[in-house]
Amino acid sequence: MTGYAVATSEGAAGTLTIEIKSVNSRFLDLQFRINDDLRALEPDLRSAIMAAITRGKVEVRLSFGRKATTGSQALNHTLLADLARLQTEVTRHFVSAPLMTVAELLRWPGVIEEAQIGQESLQADVAALAAKTIAAFVDSRKREGAALEAMLVARIEAMEAIVKRITPLIPQVIAQFQQKAIERMQDALGLAGHGNPQVLTRQEVFERIRQEVTLYGIRIDVSEELSRLTAHLNETRHILKKGGQVGKRLDFMMQELNREANTLGAKASVKELADASMELKLLIEQMREQVQNLE
């Protein structure tokens, strides 16, 4: 599922910023963009995010901007003393050598020290800000989840309407097939008045016709598939209503729905059933694309 959240917190030493965004993915893929001096905080941040979400390609940015205040910098007096000593020794050998200027001293690496930030304090600030950001991020995904739920329910209703539409056709299709089959087999076996010699007795012919018609009628009867489709749709609706970790359960339901829709198409003996199978598979595929993004 897609989602986005960003939060900042102001401290005495500077500003912390955490940004979390995600795009659809069947699995959890975490990527971090963190300043090198904050890299040690990544494990705790990773654990907090994994405890809240299980799917999505997630990018996390953590940055810290120091405040440029007078008290945030200090001179390294030890280094200055070493530089003064070294300069004195150099001028003993090179009397005419120019002395270092103040500007040069201030630019010397390590002369100006940044105020140190307590690691424990920073870790606590990051943890508090992460909890706030993750909560906002989860809320954004819940809002999208509600929209996806509405879409999935609409598809379920569309499939239920298809099942309701074609269910009354099944007895008619079987009856029509049986009548046509009887007429054709009677004709083929010489009972339609064409003068063909009868190899079998009339009783045997009618028994043969009854067996063949019954067997093929069973093959084209999709009442059981429609019943299972209805049961699977009810279960899918129940899973959505119950909420929680629904992604993997809905993945399974999409497989079962697709199985029944395929069987319906394979058994279709009239155009109406074949068209219904195609409509069902299209709706199931639309649901599958979104279900893979749900937790």
Domain shared by 192 and 99, yes or no = no
Structure-model confidence comparison of residues 96 and 71, the more confident one:
96
Bridge partners of residue 23, in order along the sequence: 57
Query: 185 and 284: one domain?
Result: yes
User: Distance between the two ends of the chain, CA-based, in angstroms?
Assistant: 8
Q: How many folded domains does the chain comprise?
A: 3
Per cent of the chain over pLDDT 90 is 23
Is 119 inside a domain boundary? no
Place of tokens 């319906």: 264
Task: Print the domain residue range for 187.
Answer: 143-291
> What pLDDT digit, counting tens, does each position of 159-178 carry?
999 999 888 887 777 677 76
Strand partners, 8: 17
pTM: 0.55
Same domain, 159 and 225: yes
- H-helix segments, the chain: 42-52, 77-93, 102-107, 119-166, 169-188, 202-220, 223-242, 247-267, 271-291
Q: Confidence class of residue 194 from pLDDT cuts 50, 70 and 90?
A: very low
In a domain, 255, yes or no: yes
User: Within a 10 A sphere around the Cβ of 123, how many other Cβ atoms?
Assistant: 14
Domain assignment present for 118: no
pLDDT per position as a tens digit, 76-94: 888 889 989 998 999 988 8
Q: To 5 degrees, how large is the angle CA 52–CA 57–CA 60?
A: 70
pLDDT of residue 70: 47
For 46-65, letters b (16+ CB in 10 Å) and e give eebbeebbebbbbebebebe
Angle at CA 67, nearest 5°, toward 65 and 68? Answer: 125
211 and 229 both lie in a single domain: yes
Q: Do 220 and 176 contact (CB within 8 A), yes or no?
A: no
Task: Decide if 115 is inside a domain.
Answer: no
Asked if residue 166 and residue 233 are part of one domain, the reply reads yes
Together in a domain, 194 and 217: yes
At 226-252, the pLDDT tens digits run 888 999 999 999 988 887 778 788 888
**What is the spatial distance between Cα 192 and Cα 291, in angstroms, rounded to a whole number?**
57
Domain assignment present for residue 117? The answer is no
The confidence band for 221, taking pLDDT boundaries of 50, 70 and 90, is low
